[in-house]
Amino acid sequence: MILTAITLGFILEKVILVSIILGGSLGIAMYSTWAERKVAAVMQDRRGPNRAGPFGLFQPLADGLKLFMKEEIIPTLSNKFLFILGPSLAMLMACMTSAVIPWGPNIVHADGSVFTLQVADINIGILFIFGVVSLGVYGIMLGSWASNNKYSLLSGLRAAAQAVSYELAMGLSLIALVMMSGSLSMREIVEQQHGFWNNGYFTWNFFKQPLAFVIFIVCSFAELNRAPFDLSECESELVGGYHTEFSSMKLGFYLFAEYINMFITSIILSSLFFGGYNYPGMDWVALHVSPLFVSIIGVLVLLGKAVAFILFFMFIRWTLPRFRYDQLMDLGWKSLIPLALFNMLVTGAIILAFQK
């Protein structure tokens, strides 16, 4: 059975790994808020936060402290249990996806024991991510409904409809990728993109499935509720969107969950399409440095790619105007889904042609 393999050392190893990953993603999400404001400032020719610490680096701490200290208000006519459950669920779902991500190459000790930089290498890793993403919308829906506020409810409905619509295109775009790699395990998909160049072609999936990548990244903008798809919190129509009634750390959880999601999505994008922890010349590096450093370099490469994606998300947010809701639905259902289906068909045809 699966359950017999669990020993104390195994549990300890995983607990440490989970704590590092969660702490790391929280830290990166924290500094994403700072980076977002800095990026916005640069794009709008301002200075951005620069009072707290050098370059305003302590700004996230100050913001966090402020959110903790604020008065907590729960509306009288709200459903209290669901009102608290909403932000908690948003945070929980944001943190859960990191479990199946391969953060770096295995560390092989001198005595042959292997330390995997992945919490769980389940054979359905991609589907696990989809499951968690599809549950992520509950946090917004429940919170918005429990607020007992018209604007919140409208925003929650928008968020749910948007998430369900774009999940379809997202899944379809990934099917082409899965058909090509023949596996649903994240680790295997990343391992297949080993190095950068092999057999006269790029190994990274981006060069094999450019269309799938474009569809996937557009859908992840929508799933993250980020501009230009931030219809669920558009302040000109819905006051504050689904978190209108939330205050103090509950609001903080919603905002923070968005940044964690952005980080995790960037990691997933780089793992699935940009080789994860693989980089050009990694075989040469593996021959010349100790195995521990190989893993550390791999993790750093993955984080570097993720940071590039986070910056890309931010550039888009401060460049493009918001969509109208019917345009959003048109794009999802009438452009992205047919494109993804077409991509699937072409991929299938090419795979068949190469088999013969």
Partner 1 sequence: MNIYQITFWILSLFTLAFAIGVIMSRNPINSVLFLILTFFCISGHYVLMNAQFLAIVNIIVYAGAIMVLFLFVIMLMNLNSDTEPQKNFLVQFAGVVSGGALLLIMVAAIKSSLTGLEGKNIDLINSTDIGLIKNLGTVLFTTYVFPFEIASVLFLSAMVGAVVLGKKDSALKTAE
Which residues of this protein are in contact with partner 1, per CB under 8 A? 1-4, 79, 82, 122-124, 127-128, 130-131, 133-135, 137-138, 141-142, 145, 153, 156-157, 160-161, 163-164, 167, 184
Cβ neighbours for 338, distance < 8 A, ≥ 6 positions apart: none
Query: Virtual CA dihedral for 310, 322, 82, 160, nearest 10 degrees?
Result: -100
> Which residue is associated with the tokens 């590092």?
20
Task: Considering the complex, state which of residue 123 and residue 290 has its C-beta at the smaller distance from partner 1.
Answer: 123
How far from chain centre, in Å, is Cα 65? 25
Q: How far apart are CA 223 and CA 159, in angstroms?
A: 9
Task: Considering the complex, state which of residue 33 and residue 97 has its C-beta at the smaller distance from partner 1.
Answer: 97
Q: How far apart are CA 287 and CA 306, in angstroms?
A: 26
Smallest separation (angstroms) from partner 1 to the CB of 123: 7
Q: How far apart are CA 253 and CA 275, in angstroms?
A: 31
Q: How far apart are CA 141 and CA 344, in angstroms?
A: 32
Quickly count: other Cβ atoms within 10 Å of residue 148's Cβ: 15
> Which helix or strand (DSSP H or E) is residue 198 part of?
strand 197-198
Smallest separation (angstroms) from partner 1 to the CB of 124: 5
Task: Considering the complex, state which of residue 58 and residue 333 has its C-beta at the smaller distance from partner 1.
Answer: 333
Smallest separation (angstroms) from partner 1 to the CB of 347: 17
Task: Considering the complex, state which of residue 179 and residue 307 has its C-beta at the smaller distance from partner 1.
Answer: 179
Smallest separation (angstroms) from partner 1 to the CB of 109: 27
> Which residue is associated with the tokens 């072409």?
346
Smallest separation (angstroms) from partner 1 to the CB of 76: 17
How far from chain centre, in Å, is Cα 122? 18
Smallest separation (angstroms) from partner 1 to the CB of 259: 22
Beta strand residue intervals within 3-139, DSSP E: 104-108, 114-117
Smallest separation (angstroms) from partner 1 to the CB of 318: 30
Task: Considering the complex, state which of residue 142 and residue 260 has its C-beta at the smaller distance from partner 1.
Answer: 142
